[in-house]
Amino acid sequence: MTSMRTRAEDLAQRRERMVASQIANRGVRAPAVLAAMREVPRERFVEPAMEEFAYEDAPLPIGEEQTISQPYIVAAMMAAAEIGPQDHVLEVGAGSGYVAALLSRIASHVCAIERHESLAQAARRRLEALGYLNVDLVVGDGSRGWPGARTFDAILVSAAGPDVPESLKQQLAPGGRLVMPVGEREQQRLVKLTRRAADRFDQEDITGVAFVPLIGAQGWVE
Ligand code: SAM
């Protein structure tokens, strides 16, 4: 019992340090983002053998040749998306479910799409076990957008495409923000689109990144 408590405390302390040194110290100041990163236990979103490395400044393997993204990049994406407590948010590329979990602590509701059934199942189990119940996670090709006609206040795409898929642009609500890595298969720029009118989007460049590819009808071919 004592050793279990010590382990949990140790991980909580590493999480605090990760938020201070990797995130706040690098300029992410959004209080809701920092609070979510302090709350969600990243070690629960990796395989037990990887738990030891959960608070390192790096992506980690999650199976199916995919990764859980580097915490700083996740924080930078969420801050750029300016997510508020009333927002309905879409994440494309749910992977382990970690980003969906973080988003669920900030937004009113999260829809998430993952193309690998095995990852989606594991992610759903984790979210449920942690009591993060305002997340709907489906298996599918998120480059086509969320199934059915609806819009979101913010969209985060956690995999890189050659361009921002038109379906995702059309699922942005007026004033909505989309953050996504765009560019070559190996290296991309993280961009932010803000929908100003039906057919007018402002685009900002955030930083250079290296994400796994968005595979799908409006992404890359496998
Ligand atoms: N956000 C995830 C997390 O917190 O663990 C990590 C995302 S990982 C960098 C990218 C994910 O995008 C992978 O799990 C991959 O299978 C998924 N993916 C790639 N193309 C996709 C598509 N068209 N639709 C849905 N998911 C896709």
**pLDDT tens digits for range 28-86:** 999 999 999 999 999 999 999 999 999 999 999 999 999 999 999 999 999 999 999 99
Ligand 1 pocket: which of 62, 64, 65, 66 to mutate (most atoms <8 Å of CB)? 66
Nearest protein CA to atom 27 of ligand 1, as residue: 93
Asked whether 77 lines ligand 1 (CB < 6 A), one says: no
Task: Report how far ligand 1's centroid is from the alpha carbon of 154 (Å).
Answer: 17
pLDDT at 158 > cutoff 80: yes
For residue 4, is pLDDT > 80? no
User: In sequence order, what DSSP letters do the residues of 68-124 get, joined into one string?
Assistant: EPPHHHHHHHHHHTT--TT-EEEEE--TTSHHHHHHHHHSSEEEEEES-HHHHHHHH
Confidence of residue 89 (pLDDT cuts 50, 70, 90): very high
Give me the pLDDT at residue 97, please: 98
Nearest to 103 by CA among 117, 92, 114: 92
Residue 3: band (very low, low, confident or very high) from pLDDT cuts 50, 70, 90: low
Q: Is the CB of 215 under 6 A from ligand 1?
A: yes
* Residue 66 to residue 87: CA distance in whole angstroms: 28
Q: Look at residue 5 in the predicted model and tell me its pLDDT.
A: 75
DSSP conformation class of 144: G
Cβ-based neighbours of 196, under 8 Å, separated by 6 or more: 175, 202
More confident: 8 or 144: 144
pLDDT, tens digit, for every residue of 106-139?
Answer: 999 999 999 999 999 999 999 999 999 999 999 9
Decide if 69 is catalytic.
yes
Give me the percent of the chain exceeding a pLDDT of 70: 98
- The three-state secondary structure class of 138 is strand
pLDDT tens digits along 173-191 = 999 999 999 999 899 999 9
99 lines ligand 1 (CB under 6 A): yes
Average pLDDT over residues 17-35: 98
Span 164-172, mean pLDDT? Answer: 98
Q: 3, 69, 96, 158: which is the annotated catalytic residue?
A: 69
Q: Is the pLDDT of residue 98 over 90?
A: yes
Q: What is the pLDDT of residue 139?
A: 98
Residue (of 153, 152, 156) closest to 179 by Cα position: 156
- What is the chain's mean pLDDT, rounded? 96
